[in-house]
Every structure is written in structure tokens, then in C-alpha cells.
Structure 1
Amino acid sequence: MGMLEGKVALVTGASRGVGKGIALGLGEQGATVYVTGRTVAGGAPTTPLDGNVQETAAEVTALGGHGIAIACDHRDDEQTRRAVARVVTETGRLDVLVNNVWGGYEHFWDGTEFWVEAGFWTVPIDRWDAMFQAGVRAHYVTSVAAAPTMVAQRSGLIVNVSSDAADKDDAGVPYGVAKAATDRMIACMAHDLRDHGVTAVSLYPGLVRTESVLRAAEHFDLSDSESPQFIGRAVAALAADPTAMRLTGQVVRSAELGQHYAFTDTDGRHPGTNGPPYQPPVA
């Protein structure tokens, strides 16, 4: 039996990438995992990358959990509210909310020559809007919709997937400011939720081998990188920890959680420990 048997989770933006990996990590531990995304089977692709919410849900189930797909564009507040309401209506509870969905990455595949951008004044204004609408605002609206259920059951975990870009001056203004905002959001939400038994944290992954990163692997040092599923194992460990409240309002890092809870990546490695480097699979 998995550590999260009987628990219900909602992971936003889980068609692929980190969101998919988080869903799989929760599924490994037996959770019922609702996954949201814009990309659906048979629908128009939203990126040139593979993956859709139905595939993610099926993989969650194959790993021992129960995966359920919800088509949702989190730029639309009403779609977000309906997604959360469906989870609560169908299960009567919500134990884990992972705010992973994000916007503003379109320039990696829409033909924009982002590498010629030098200074925030050369970056399209809509980059800021995308990151705050489909990222920061989506995290907030989903949390607002989920909090009443968690408060009523006096338990729950909210995770904002963030980045150490929040602390870096060279991360780009829209991205750095948006990630700092998600961290500050968690600190303030944790203050309100603490007395109701609900934990809220920001999670910093390391370099994650998402589909887009692997597509441009020649530009990255993947030697100490993490699989998307490793991030899921970090969330699962937090969700199963009855003392996780000690971390509420804080930033936690996937590699450090791996060391603390003694879980490994899918290849058996321990990212962040100067262990053996990642070896890509042989073609």
C-alpha cells in the first residue's frame, strides 16, 4: 500500500513536464490524482511537445494511483473554479494541491528569437502578462477555490512550484518577479492557514529533464539534473509527513527533500549529493 492511499490530489498544468512528473510521483504512492491541462487527446496541440492530460492520468493509474484528467485553461478563473469543484464533488475532500501551471514559456517554441533579448526593455510586454495571468494569478485562484475544503477538513498541503529565479538578478525581470511573487504568496497564505492545519510551501526543483529541456539538451549541463518524477516524489514525501507543518510558509528544495526523506530519482541517483552524474539512456 502506498503512503498516499485514500488521499486526493490536484496537480495543475500536468500534460507534460514537471506537472506530469508530480502527478506520477503522487500516483506511485496510491493517491487519486486529478490532472489539469489545456492539451487533450484528439484536440489541437498547444505546443509542439508531446503529452496530454489523458495520457498523464493513464500513467498515474498504471503506477498504482487513480488518474483523472480535467481539461482546463487556468487563464479562465471560472474553468479553474469548476475544476476544483469537480474534485470536491466527486471525492468529498482535497488533500494536496500542487500549483504547477505556468505561462510565458511560449517563446521557446513560437519562433521568437528570445536569445537576442538583452535587457528587460527588449522583452515583449505580454511575457509579463502571461506569467502573471497563467502563473501567479492561476496559483492564487486555484488556492482560493481549494482552501475552504482543506480548512473544513483541517488538513491539507498546498505546493507552489517555484524557482530559485526568485533570488537571482539575472533571471529576467518577468520571470524573477513572478517567481518571487509565488513565494511571497505562499508565506502569506501559510500565515492564514496555519491555525487550520493546512501546510503551504514553495518548492524549488533543480534542473529538470522536461521535454523542452531534453529537446535543447546540448545547451544544458544535465549531470546533476532531476527527472520530473523526482519532483513528484518530493511532493509525495511532504504529503505523507505528519510533521510537514514545521515547513509551512517556507521554500523547500527537491534535492534537499530527497536527502531528508531518503528517496531517489527514477535512475536510483541522489541529485544534489555530488554523486554519479546523470547518464542519458542509450538510444
Structure 2
Amino acid sequence: MTQKRATPSIKRRRVGAQLRQWREAVEMPSGDVARAMGWSQPRFSRVERGYYRIGRDDVLDLCKKIGVDDPKGVEEVARVAEEPAGKGWWASYADKVSEAYLDFVELEAEAETIRIVHPKVIPGLVQSPLYVREMHSRARSNDSESLIAIRLARQEVLSRAKFHGVIPESAFHAEFESSPGLMEDQLRKLIAATKMENVTLQILPLKAHPSIGSNGAMTILTFWHPWTPVASIDNPMGGSHTYDPAQVAYLEAEFERISSAALPVDQSRDLLNEYLEGLHK
């Protein structure tokens, strides 16, 4: 049975946050908006914080009352507001993973672009099935099979989103005694990914200064208008994400610093092929 969420769904929070952003842009007090809608102040506050679901008609009416001049943006927010919570393939895993991780999976599935860097391992969206199983078989979890299934299902997003991943060269030096063919399988997966038009892969070389990319894994997601970018930081509890423009901008600059220190795309592809050839010598 699906467990009850302790926090509002990510869709409701995003809808509420966008409505609040539009309201603040026109400097209209929340009390005035609540009265215009015929709502109480507490109800409107809960809408903006994502605790109270509103539908398409309410979104259109509210945006008209506060004078939002963004037809496409309003239509997009109205569309998402109308969607039921828990919609998507990930809903069946709601009782198996943390809310933070489930929220990230839902955000990732909606992303237009995905940028990711990891200081130690191959990024999850381009991991081979053998690599995924190896990573999660060692994880501290009572349900590694669900985590494996989720990781592999997430990779479907590469069929439509633009992906830019920075991979540490050190990841190719890992040894997997229980699965000797794993690294060959993984390298072939990465080489195949480099041939996808929407995928950009760069290798952070071993000789790069250790301060580059050493502060942890991060993912930056951008979306269709009008949604704001989201940055996510990995941790053992499932990660955390932020919509704060200043924090996202800081992490975007950090990603650019790391990717600038990484090998260009062509050299990265050549290095992948060198490692693959080296396995057969």
C-alpha cells in the first residue's frame, strides 16, 4: 500500500511556487488575491505552499485576477495543476524509496535538459545494467531490486531530454571482482551514448586538479517555460534539491568550471575507446 506523503507532492509545490512568483512580480499582497478569489487567507497560503490542490479553472482565474501576461506559461501551469498527484511509472515505488528521491525522479522525468557531474562513479542515466546492479547490490537498502528497477527506468528520459554528463576518469579504474565483464559493458554503453545527438559526455582526466569536481555529485535540471531550474545534491538519504535562483546559479557556475576542466567531447570519446581497447590487450 502506498504510504501517505509527509509533504505536498512536487507538482503541487511547483504550481504554488510559480503562482507565488507571479503574484510577487506584480507586488500584489496575498490577502488581496485571496479576497479576489473568494478564499480565506489560510487557504491561499496553503495553495502557494502546495498543501492545497487547485485545478485548471482556478489557475486561469487567479492568473487573470493578478494580471499575468504570459499565456503559454499560464496554460502550462494550469495543465500541471490539473494532473493528479502520483501520476507516472514511479508512483508504484512510493512506498519503497524516500520522498526526496521520488520527487527527484519526477522532476528528472519532466526535464528539458539535464547536467550532471559525479566525483567518483558513472552517472546513473548512462550506467549499464551490470553497473547499476553492482552499485545497488552493495547499497544499504532492504529493497535493492526496486532501486535497480528505478535506475534503469529513469534512463528512458534520454530519449527526449538533452543530457550533459561529466565523468571522472578514475571511475574506469574501479575493479569488480564479482563481475569481470562489467567495465567492458559499461564502456560500450558510454561509447554508444556519445553517438546520441542529445547526449554530451566529457571525461574529467586523472591529472585534473583535485579541487575540481570534488565537492560531491550534483544535477541541474531545466524545464519548459515557465518552470524555474532545479539543482539537486546527492546524499545517502536520497538527496536534496533547491529552486533558489542564487543557489542554482552558483551550482551552474560550478558545473561550467568542472566541464571546462574536462576533456572536449571528441577527446573524451577517444579516451573511452582507448580504455575499451586496453581491456583486450
Q: TM-score scaled by structure 1?
A: 0.29
Would you tell me which structure has more helix in proportion to its own residues? 2
- In our comparison, the structure showing a higher alpha carbon Rg is 2
Q: TM-score scaled by structure 2?
A: 0.29
